[in-house]
Chains A and B, each alone.
Chain A
């Protein structure tokens, strides 16, 4: 039986209202432009509710959500344990003049959990802590330059953007240096050319950038990078905002067998409650202490309580093993569905954060067409971003996804 095709009438109505009072209707990564909704008519624009691995839009369409709110949904939406801890703390006190002792408990838990952590510094979004990491590195080294990996995304502050981005001036990025992923020789050259000037090398643990197949670190890459940074007095920052906890509860640097000096967490940290965390080694504790860097809600207690419950539950469930298994089961099934319909679906990155690309043309038109056919049938994939597994995803959900994927392949087959 054919799967129902979604109608988005109310989504369009709400979006139309939004455009009158909100710049571009929905800005940023959840919006149709950055979210690459192609065509926009195939995608939901406004959500209504969520539970477990699903969200429902304002038209009542249900989606199996492989974007997980772009990462925060790690245990399942409305996880009862996390929500109970959060609500209990909310009743006791949230945003107060004295921070709750929950902050101390959470920091202790982070130090116990994250392999390279001697301390924890909390904020709200990933960008807050990547910026804290850069400022810490500059404060500690008294150097200006930062090395980035091409294809990077480390947030939205001007230093994280590029010279051609709207609102960015050349001076914002004047001290940014760029190398290609996995190219240690290039990194070595940049270090040689900028001897004594590089404050930090910042990178995600593997290349999970957008618009390209994701790429794992080459054998020995991180060991050599670690040695190079140490030898040059450069701070090694791992941006684990996206992959954090999904590969390894102790941090993705631990997963790949090295130790970062600073590591940034956000998304999976508190199952949707707004908190981010910078962890680091003892020798940088003074440097981060000296920063003038804070925010009105950074020490709110409710997200700390949620974070404690979330980290403990992720440990209890052994999230990394579970996500690897679920990710492999799903992606192997998707590849099989593609092959059965004569398409070549390339799956890259780690299974817990799989990236998809149909490789039958070099333009991605086929890929985009397949993605929208899946979304129209209730499986929310993104066109050009890695996906996320969550703990509430069941075998039944995976089987339904594969059914949708197969029907979507069949729907586009006549066109290609």
Chain B
């Protein structure tokens, strides 16, 4: 009940897009980019997503679309091939920027490995509180972006998005970590911060609760009763986002 095109959009914007947050929040990630010239990697998937990852001064930013002036360009002939790169079964072949292959090997791949370490953590690593919080934060951003991609691309997700009215849905862990899912004409976009005027909100009380939810150890309905998830505003928006959220696990499992 999943499709490779939706998965490609999730892998592009939700998974690789989380490199932005990784570089911002993790010193080890920034160290991998230290003293490096600015590099941009254009990723273009036939019949699928296209984006450019730009690395500069230790930070990363993702821009929609494959920029013509990107330093390195990696095209993919299908969504399946691109998804294969993400799960490690397909080796990417750049068509531009071969002289920057060193960046790919020495910076980009270690960065994605670091991201994987947080996204698919060893249970032992989670015993370290700092690691736990970093991992949970990055998962939060990944999930928030994945919601928009599923709402825009997955057949059942689109059904849910068709029932969401225009406006901003604020998702947050406590008061510190926030993302806004903006709906306009049933298309969703995730902005990785609180935009200030939500029409509805869903707040996870703390990191531990958020983690337990992400890991499927607790159920959102039960948490609402216990008061560890707070919702408010236009509840039909939250209701439909939750239906999409149910599908996130199918794709990110």
Residues of A with Cβ closer than 8 Å to B? Answer: 15-16, 19, 23-27, 31-34, 36-41, 45, 162-166, 170, 211, 362-365, 368, 383-384
Q: Are A363 and B226 in contact (CB under 8 A)?
A: no
Main secondary structure of the interface of B (DSSP, over half): helix
Q: Are A364 and B235 in contact (CB under 8 A)?
A: yes
Q: Are A368 and B243 in contact (CB under 8 A)?
A: no
In-complex Cβ contact of A19 among B226, B234, B236 (8 A): B226
Output the least CB separation between B100 and chain A (Å).
43
Which chain B residue lies CB-closest to A27? B221
Contacts of B149 in A (CB 8 A): none
In-complex Cβ contact of B226 among A25, A27, A163, A211 (8 A): A25
Q: Quick check: is B121 within 8 A (CB to CB) of the other chain?
A: no
Output the least CB separation between A318 and chain B (Å).
36
Output the least CB separation between A6 and chain B (Å).
16
Q: Are A19 and B225 in contact (CB under 8 A)?
A: yes
Q: Quick check: is B159 within 8 A (CB to CB) of the other chain?
A: yes
Contacts of A26 in B (CB 8 A): 225
Contacts of A31 in B (CB 8 A): 221, 225
Output the least CB separation between A23 and chain B (Å).
7
Q: Are A45 and B225 in contact (CB under 8 A)?
A: yes
**Contact A166/B246 with A15-B225, A19-B222, A40-B227 known, Cβ cut-off 8 Å:** yes
B174-208 to A contact mask, C-beta < 8 Å, 1/0: 00000000000000000000000011100000000
Q: Are A38 and B246 in contact (CB under 8 A)?
A: no
Q: Are B199 and A363 in contact (CB under 8 A)?
A: yes
B200-241 to A contact mask, C-beta < 8 Å, 1/0: 100000000000000000011110111100111111100010
Q: Are B225 and A38 in contact (CB under 8 A)?
A: no
Q: Are B232 and A368 in contact (CB under 8 A)?
A: yes
Output the least CB separation between B31 and chain A (Å).
43
Which chain B residue lies CB-closest to A362? B199
Q: Quick check: is B157 within 8 A (CB to CB) of the other chain?
A: yes
Main secondary structure of the interface of A (DSSP, over half): loop
Q: Quick check: is B75 within 8 A (CB to CB) of the other chain?
A: no
Contacts of B157 in A (CB 8 A): 164
Q: Are B230 and A39 in contact (CB under 8 A)?
A: yes
Which chain A residue lies CB-closest to B165? A362
Q: Are A40 and B235 in contact (CB under 8 A)?
A: no
Q: Are A24 and B225 in contact (CB under 8 A)?
A: yes
Which of A19, A37, A165, A363 has the most C-beta atoms of chain B within 10 angstroms of its own C-beta?
Answer: A363
Q: Are A165 and B243 in contact (CB under 8 A)?
A: yes
Contacts of A163 in B (CB 8 A): 156, 159
In-complex Cβ contact of A363 among B198, B222, B231 (8 A): B198
CA of A33 to CA of B224, assembled, Å: 6
Q: Quick check: is B83 within 8 A (CB to CB) of the other chain?
A: no
Q: Are B232 and A365 in contact (CB under 8 A)?
A: yes
Contacts of B234 in A (CB 8 A): 211, 362-364
In-complex Cβ contact of A40 among B219, B225, B236, B247 (8 A): B225
CA of A40 to CA of B230, assembled, Å: 8
Q: Are A162 and B246 in contact (CB under 8 A)?
A: no
Output the least CB separation between A30 and chain B (Å).
11
Residues of B with Cβ closer than 8 Å to A? Answer: 156-157, 159-160, 167, 198-200, 219-222, 224-227, 230-236, 240, 243-244, 246-247
CA of A162 to CA of B161, assembled, Å: 13
Which chain B residue lies CB-closest to A383? B235
CA of A25 to CA of B224, assembled, Å: 10
Contacts of A19 in B (CB 8 A): 222, 225-226
**Contact A32/B156 with A39-B230, A165-B243 known, Cβ cut-off 8 Å:** no
CA of A32 to CA of B231, assembled, Å: 11
CA of A2 to CA of B225, assembled, Å: 29
In-complex Cβ contact of A164 among B159, B199, B226, B231 (8 A): B159
Contacts of A33 in B (CB 8 A): 220-221, 224-225
Q: Are B219 and A36 in contact (CB under 8 A)?
A: no
CA of A36 to CA of B156, assembled, Å: 25
In-complex Cβ contact of B235 among A23, A41, A211 (8 A): A211
**Contact A32/B160 with A39-B230, A363-B234 known, Cβ cut-off 8 Å:** no
Output the least CB separation between A186 and chain B (Å).
16
Contacts of B230 in A (CB 8 A): 38-39
Q: Are B160 and A362 in contact (CB under 8 A)?
A: no
CA of A362 to CA of B226, assembled, Å: 27
CA of A384 to CA of B224, assembled, Å: 16
Output the least CB separation between A169 and chain B (Å).
8
- 16 contacts across the A-B interface (CB closer than 8 A): A16-B226, A24-B225, A32-B225, A36-B235, A38-B231, A38-B235, A39-B232, A40-B225, A164-B157, A164-B159, A164-B243, A164-B244, A164-B247, A211-B234, A364-B234, A383-B235
Contacts of A365 in B (CB 8 A): 232-233
Contacts of A363 in B (CB 8 A): 167, 198-200, 233-234
In-complex Cβ contact of A162 among B159, B224, B232, B236 (8 A): B159
**Contact A362/B167 with A162-B159, A163-B159 known, Cβ cut-off 8 Å:** yes
Contacts of A383 in B (CB 8 A): 235
Q: Which 6 residue pairs of A and B lie closest in terms of their CB atoms, listed nearest first?
A: A33-B224, A24-B222, A32-B225, A164-B243, A363-B233, A33-B221
Contacts of A40 in B (CB 8 A): 224-227
Which chain B residue lies CB-closest to A150? B163
Output the least CB separation between B159 and chain A (Å).
5
Which chain B residue lies CB-closest to A166? B246
CA of A170 to CA of B157, assembled, Å: 12
Q: Are B235 and A164 in contact (CB under 8 A)?
A: no
Q: Are A38 and B167 in contact (CB under 8 A)?
A: no
CA of A178 to CA of B195, assembled, Å: 34
CA of A24 to CA of B219, assembled, Å: 8
Which chain A residue lies CB-closest to B219? A24
Which chain A residue lies CB-closest to B246? A166
Output the least CB separation between A372 and chain B (Å).
10
Which chain A residue lies CB-closest to B160? A164
Output the least CB separation between A401 and chain B (Å).
24
